[in-house]
């Protein structure tokens, strides 16, 4: 199934799920949640994400990892890594997982099942968000789940229609009229069902209602769960959702690649965003606020702190060779003068450089690695570690910063929060300039 913005709803998901399960068993055995009670959950999540990234990287050439994960050209491994990074941004999901998975030293199968459940919910959350960002209509994870249930049900009905002679009784039950043995030519409905758009809601309801009779298990709309209770009584809602899936599938059949890739510089929209903020501050648009669902807005504008002109760069990087630092660099397989060369290659005049000025180069490089990835094209060569061609690992950067890995992570995350704040409050800054 494809809907606007969704990436995790096609058959390739099965392989994504399996790959995540496979890697998670290894990663979780290395940092079992709940094992170290002293470590905060956030730190465990960081460990888990790092281990998962390592696992996925190690398997990147495996047939499962390189297989197509969806019809937009994303591989199973890319989708899996994307979901792991989503988990990192959603600590509440990790917390919920730890609450159920830390109870026992689980057997592999049980642990895998819980990992499955966590990612199954996460993918619907992620795709519900993707859908909303892509088309501007509200969507919840439950709604995404319902779309998929309808799509699967349609697939099942189409399969039965395709073999209607072998399934006369069931197809008759779906159509609402018996197809006895004397019925020789295929029913008109069978011939007319070409896509999900042709599927009528009453067929779907009758298919679900009679499923138990033909297969022994209750249909999704007729289980004891209240999950689809509202759909069960609203054929028009079912029809609208089937239509939507069908229309988008037809529209995207010629591959709806990310249109932003066509632009020379997709980050240019940030200028639009800052302009929108600035105009909002300059022009007092009178109320009432047109906020959706009229939910009361209790948010305060982020305070705009005073920002002076960017001071000259601090002593970092040190102009003089530091023998101790050189030994540390060599100890983690980096060139002895890595920090000095990397510092010289760093551009230092912008507001982001200003915001990160006091952090030290290793922290800044950790920020780059987190936000733009370890191997962005824009990085100067002097930042790249020989061998990998990527930024140094977090372990290497921690050594260079002479701090522990958790401390480096904390400083990195604090620096990213400052960039976020700066980016959000940018409009006021510009007006002052």
Partner 1 sequence: MKTKGEQQMERRLAEAALLAGRVEGDRLVLGDAVLAAALDGSRPLSPGERAALQASPLTLRRLRRLALERRAQTKPAANDEEWQGSHGMLRAASSAGPAAPVSDDGWWTLHLLGQEGAWRLVLQLSAAAPFAARLLAERAPLRVRDGAGRVILEGRLDADGECEAAWPFGDPPAVHLQEQGAAFTVEPC
Q: In the range 231-260, which residues lie near partner 1 by CB under 8 A? A: 259-260
Query: With binding defined as CB under 8 A, does residue 375 bind partner 1?
Result: no
Which one-letter DSSP state was computed for residue 270?
H
Query: With binding defined as CB under 8 A, does residue 419 bind partner 1?
Result: yes
DSSP, residue by residue, 329-375: HHHTTS-TTHHHHHHHT----SHHHHHTGGG-HHHHHHHHHHHH-TT
Q: In terms of CB distance, is 236 or 300 closer to partner 1?
A: 300
Q: In terms of CB distance, is 198 or 390 closer to partner 1?
A: 390
Among candidate residues 174, 249, 158, 238, the one with its CA nearest the CA of residue 210: 174
Rounded CA separation 353/297 (Å): 33
Using CA atoms, how far residue 79 sits from 10, 19, 90, 92, in Å, is 11, 10, 17, 21
Helix ranges (H only) for 163-261 are 168-175, 188-192, 201-215, 229-232, 235-251
**Matching residue, tokens 């049980």:** 110
Query: With binding defined as CB under 8 A, does residue 271 bind partner 1?
Result: yes
Interface pick for partner 1 out of 217, 254, 315, 378 (rule CB under 8 A): 378
What does the block give as tokens for 238? Answer: 């079912």
Binding mask 99-138 for partner 1 (x = CB under 8 A): ------------------------------x--xxx-x-x
Q: In terms of CB distance, is 202 or 281 closer to partner 1?
A: 281
Query: With binding defined as CB under 8 A, does residue 371 bind partner 1?
Result: yes
Interface pick for partner 1 out of 37, 38, 284, 433 (rule CB under 8 A): 284
Query: With binding defined as CB under 8 A, does residue 377 bind partner 1?
Result: no
Rounded CA separation 395/386 (Å): 15
Interface pick for partner 1 out of 109, 181, 347, 433 (rule CB under 8 A): 347
Query: With binding defined as CB under 8 A, does residue 279 bind partner 1?
Result: yes
Q: Which residues bind partner 1 (CB under 8 A)?
A: 86, 89-90, 92, 129, 132-134, 136, 138, 259-260, 262-263, 265-273, 276-277, 279-287, 289-293, 295, 297, 299-302, 347, 349-352, 367-368, 371-372, 378, 416, 419-420, 422-424, 426
């Amino acid at each position: 199934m494809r809907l606007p913005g969704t990436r995790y709803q096609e058959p390739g998901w099965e392989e994504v799920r399996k790959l995540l399960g496979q890697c998670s068993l290894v990663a979780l055995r290395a940092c079992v949640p709940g094992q170290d009670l002293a470590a905060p959950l956030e730190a465990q999540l960081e460990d888990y994400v790092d281990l998962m990234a390592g696992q996925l990287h190690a398997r990147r050439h495996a047939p499962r990892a390189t297989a197509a994960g969806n019809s937009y050209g994303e591989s199973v491994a890319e989708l899996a890594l994307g979901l792991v990074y989503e988990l990192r941004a959603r600590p509440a999901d990790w917390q919920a997982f730890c609450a159920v998975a830390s109870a026992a030293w689980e057997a592999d199968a049980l642990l895998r099942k819980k990992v499955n459940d966590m990612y199954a919910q996460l993918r619907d959350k992620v795709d519900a968000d993707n859908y909303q960002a892509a088309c501007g209509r509200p969507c919840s994870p439950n709604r995404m789940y319902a779309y998929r249930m309808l799509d699967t049900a349609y697939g099942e009905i189409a399969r039965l229609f395709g073999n209607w002679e072998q399934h006369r009784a069931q197809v008759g039950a779906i159509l609402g009229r018996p197809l006895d043995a004397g019925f020789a030519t295929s029913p008109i409905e069978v011939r007319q069902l070409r896509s999900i758009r042709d599927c009528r809601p009453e067929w779907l309801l009758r298919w679900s209602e009679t499923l138990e009779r033909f297969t022994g298990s209750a249909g999704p709309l007729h289980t004891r769960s209240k999950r689809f209770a509202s759909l069960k009584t609203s054929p028009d809602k079912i029809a609208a959702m089937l239509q939507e899936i069908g229309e988008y599938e037809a529209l995207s059949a010629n591959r709806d690649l990310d249109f932003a890739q066509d632009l020379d510089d997709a980050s240019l929209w940030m200028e639009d965003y800052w302009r929108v903020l600035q105009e909002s501050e300059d022009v007092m648009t009178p109320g009432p606020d047109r906020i959706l669902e009229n939910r009361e807005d209790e948010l305060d504008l982020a305070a705009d702190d005073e920002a002076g002109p960017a001071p000259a760069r601090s002593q970092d990087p040190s102009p003089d060779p530091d023998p101790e630092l050189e030994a540390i660099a060599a100890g983690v397989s980096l060139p002895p003068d890595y920090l000095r060369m990397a510092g010289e290659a760093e551009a230092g005049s912008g507001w982001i450089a200003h915001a990160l000025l006091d952090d030290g180069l290793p922290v800044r490089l950790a920020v780059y690695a987190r936000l733009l990835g370890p191997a962005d094209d824009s990085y100067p060569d002097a930042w790249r570690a020989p061998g990998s061609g990527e930024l140094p690992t977090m372990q290497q950067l921690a050594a260079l910063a002479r701090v522990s890995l958790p401390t480096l992570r904390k400083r990195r995350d604090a620096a990213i929060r400052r960039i976020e704040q700066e980016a959000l409050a940018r409009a006021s800054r510009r007006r002052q300039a």
